[in-house]
Each structure stands twice: as structure tokens, then as C-alpha cells.
Structure 1
């Protein structure tokens, strides 16, 4: 069985990727047009894709820092406290 810490990290990561995929799908469905029988992303749609990728990277970095501070460090301190008392 996976530790609680890993389950939280997996859930947050999968959620972040799900939001990113949904955002890219939305951008693709609202900012495309048909040219010569092919779906073409508009220039504004291309900019939104780039901005969403940048936002995803920044968001995942922030989430990583928050998880380290709130989940990983307190559990490591709790483990240290248990082992030193034995």
C-alpha cells in the first residue's frame, strides 16, 4: 500500500494534469477554424496554449512547494520524533 504522502501527491498531480487537458481541449474547441478541410488553431488560440502551458508549469511548482511544506516535512518530523523516543 502506498503511503498517505504519496497518495496526496498522486491525487494532486492527476488533478493538475486533468485540468490542463480540459483547458487545452476547451482552447482547441473554441479557437479553431476550418481551412482547406483541416482544423486550424487561430493565432489567439496558439497564444492561449502557450500561456496555459506556462501557467501549468508555474502551478505545479507552487503546488510542489506547498506539498513539501504541508505534507512531507510534518510527516518527516513525526517520523523522527517516533524513532528518537524508542
Structure 2
């Protein structure tokens, strides 16, 4: 499997976060389409089939990620 460069993953994660902050799901058709494009690209770049798995995989492939990183665990309130 091809591995995406960490700079590509960083850019995709930043764009995903920005679009999520802007509530792209409820935005204009163009913003909504870009949000889905970024989600799809993250899945392809990480070899996953859903955005949650793609986000986890992308974050673990970034420089400085630790094997014991608990970012995949649900937050406990």
C-alpha cells in the first residue's frame, strides 16, 4: 500500500478540522462537497473505509505520534 507523505496528511487534517469548525455539513453545496472530498481523500490516503478510522490512522502517521497515543480512545467525561 502506498503511504501518504506526512505533509499531505497534515494538510488534509487541517482542512478537515477547518471544514468541521465551519459546519461544512450544513454549509453551501460547494463547502459540503469539499468536506466530502477531504473525507474521501483521507480515507484513500490512509487505506481506511470511514472517516473516524482515517483520522486515527492519519494522526498516528504524523511525526511525533507515539505508539501509546490514546487519541483513539473515547473521551471520558
Q: TM-score, normalised by structure 2?
A: 0.36
Looking at secondary structure, tell me which structure has more helix per residue: 1
Give the number of the structure whose alpha-carbon radius of gyration is greater: 1
